[in-house]
């Protein structure tokens, strides 16, 4: 009987230790001002925390306003790798396109891809699972008459191709936003459906992004 009790205690202790040791998956969201705002109350990362099991996921924001792909590469060590992420969701590209017209400081397509590939290599070398996002929108008109639609579609396709070449999960926010606007923007407005200013997310935009992220994270490994 004593041996049986000891065995049961050992099994119970081992089980408790396993529960203690098991850590949630640490997800770092790596991007620009949209991601920076995502951690605020009502932001997409804040919403995701309520939509995912807390014991399974730890969500960390690493967004800085105005960032382009090369900014992400330069601050990756301190802002992402130092956090020892299990998963990194990269959402960048709007400023690489937008700043061409507004400031003349965008990123050429070939440089965009090279820096993006460098970001992916470094994250993967640190054993982080990488997910890529297409840039969602710079204007919500659905007839492709927004000023940057051509470039934004091009850069979104570059990211889709990159994800396909490297067999990396893709969260196609560009497509998700267009599909939503086709259903919910009959007046073809340039903002106010998913964004406050054509780029940054309103309540509906944050909810849509959170749902897309939730689907991707819960679908990992399937």
User: Token pair of 78, please?
Assistant: 């301190």
Helix (H, G, I), strand (E, B) or coil at 139: coil
Which residues make Cβ contacts (< 8 Å) with residue 55, sequence separation at least 6?
Answer: 24
Rounded to the nearest 5°, which phi and psi values hold at 136?
-75, -55
State residue 1's pLDDT score: 47
Q: What is the predicted pLDDT for the residue at 150?
A: 95
pLDDT of residue 7: 53
Q: How many CB atoms lie within 10 A of CB 124?
A: 14
The rounded distance, in Å, linking the Cα atoms of 41 and 168 is 30
Superfamily of domain 24-218: SGNH hydrolase (3.40.50.1110)
CA distances from 22 to 19, 27, 55 (A): 5, 15, 9
**Taken in order 62, 172, 217, 123, is the CA torsion positive or negative?**
negative
DSSP, residue by residue, 28-88 = EEEESHHHHHHTSTTSHHHHHHHHS-TTTEEEEEEE-TT--HHHHHHHHHHHTGGG--SEE
Beta bridge partners of 63: 31
Residues of the chain predicted below pLDDT 70: 1-21, 101-104, 221-222
Task: State the pLDDT at residue 17.
Answer: 45
DSSP single-letter state for residue 129: E
Contacting residues for 112 by C-beta, under 8 A, at least 6 apart: 69, 93, 96, 155, 158
Provide the pLDDT for residue 19: 46
Contact 66, 33 (CB under 8 A): yes
pLDDT (0 to 100) of residue 60:
98
CB 162 within 8 A of CB 168: yes
Write down the pLDDT at residue 103: 61
Ranges of each domain in the chain? 24-218
């Amino acid at each position: 009987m004593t041996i049986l009790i000891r065995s049961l205690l050992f099994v119970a202790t081992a089980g408790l230790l396993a529960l203690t040791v098991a850590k949630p998956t640490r997800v770092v969201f790596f991007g620009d001002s949209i991601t920076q705002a995502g951690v605020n109350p009502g932001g997409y990362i804040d919403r995701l925390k309520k939509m995912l099991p807390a014991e399974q996921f730890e969500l960390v924001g690493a967004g800085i306003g105005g960032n382009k792909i090369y900014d992400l590469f330069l601050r990756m060590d301190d802002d992402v790798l130092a956090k020892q992420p299990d998963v990194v969701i990269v959402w960048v590209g709007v400023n690489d396109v937008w700043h061409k017209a507004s400031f003349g400081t965008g990123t050429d397509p070939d440089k965009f891809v090279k820096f993006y590939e460098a970001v992916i290599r470094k994250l993967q070398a640190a054993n982080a699972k990488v997910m890529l996002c297409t840039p969602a929108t710079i204007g919500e008109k659905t007839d492709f008459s927004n000023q940057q639609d051509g470039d934004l579609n091009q850069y979104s396709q570059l990211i889709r191709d990159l994800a396909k070449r490297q067999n990396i999960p893709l969260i196609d926010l560009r497509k998700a936003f267009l599909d939503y606007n086709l259903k919910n923007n009959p007046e073809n407005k340039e903002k106010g459906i998913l964004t406050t200013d054509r780029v940054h997310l309103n309540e509906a935009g944050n909810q849509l992004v959170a749902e897309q992220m939730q689907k991707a994270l819960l679908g990992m490994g399937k």
